[in-house]
């Protein structure tokens, strides 16, 4: 078992992984688009016996009213179906959080399951008076502050890279 940064020769395996983990090819195509349109980004893979079984990606987002804040968006994350519910996703998330901290990001946002992400410290963004540009339920759009109180009095709307508009 090994978590490492994605390399160019992993792209096909990561595409296959995302296409297997989701009902459509949207997330697999999103990863390809983000690689082309976003810099910097964090893309990690989880290997078992030299096979990629998990993937996670973090890309910068902006708080429209405070565009200089360094905030990452977690999306997408995928684990091959036969390896789901084995802790791989949790390990990828924790490793990604640590990488975001190392790169001096102040927060991470995620649009995801309200019962899953709080275990990593994510709370609904409504507590910060921050919302998502997309029409989503408040409990599903969450934020993890990497630096305490870094979002205090920083309300507004989070904007994702234009590549997300194709989802």
Burial of 72 (0-12, 13-18, 19+ CB in 10 A): buried
Average pLDDT over residues 50-65: 97
pLDDT in tens, 25-49: 999 999 999 999 999 999 999 999 9
Q: If DSSP codes are grouped into helix, strand and coil, which group holds residue 79?
A: strand
Residue 94, pLDDT above cutoff 80: yes
- Model confidence at 110, in pLDDT bands (50, 70, 90)? very high
- Model confidence at 75, in pLDDT bands (50, 70, 90)? very high
Looking at residue 167, what is its pLDDT?
74
- Tell me the CATH number at 131: 3.40.630.30
Q: Where do runs of H (alpha helix) occur along 22-151?
A: 26-37, 88-102
Q: Could you tell me if 54 and 46 are in contact, meaning their C-beta atoms sit under 8 angstroms apart?
A: yes
How many percent of the chain have pLDDT more than 70? Answer: 100
Predicted TM-score (pTM) of the model is 0.96
- Tell me the sheet residues that pair with 143: 109, 123
- Model confidence at 125, in pLDDT bands (50, 70, 90)? very high
Residue range(s) defining the domain that contains residue 124: 2-166
Q: Could you tell me if 158 and 125 are in contact, meaning their C-beta atoms sit under 8 angstroms apart?
A: yes
Q: What is the CA radius of gyration of the chain?
A: 15
Total domains, the chain: 1
């Amino acid at each position: 078992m090994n978590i490492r940064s994605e390399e160019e020769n992993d792209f096909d395996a990561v595409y296959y992984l995302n296409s297997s983990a989701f009902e459509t090819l949207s997330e697999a195509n999103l990863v390809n688009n983000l690689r082309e349109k976003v810099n910097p980004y964090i893309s990690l893979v989880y290997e078992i016996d030299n096979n990629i079984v998990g993937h996670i990606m973090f890309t910068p987002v902006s708080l429209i009213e405070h565009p200089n804040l360094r905030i990452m968006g977690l999306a997408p994350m995928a684990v091959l179906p036969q390896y789901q519910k084995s802790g791989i996703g949790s390990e990828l998330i924790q490793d990604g959080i640590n990488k975001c901290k190392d790169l001096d990001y102040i927060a991470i946002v995620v649009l995801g399951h309200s019962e899953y992400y709080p275990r990593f410290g994510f709370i609904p963004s409504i507590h910060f008076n921050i919302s998502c540009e997309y029409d989503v339920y408040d409990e599903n759009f969450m934020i993890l502050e990497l630096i305490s109180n870094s979002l205090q009095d920083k309300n507004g709307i989070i904007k994702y890279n234009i590549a997300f508009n194709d989802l």
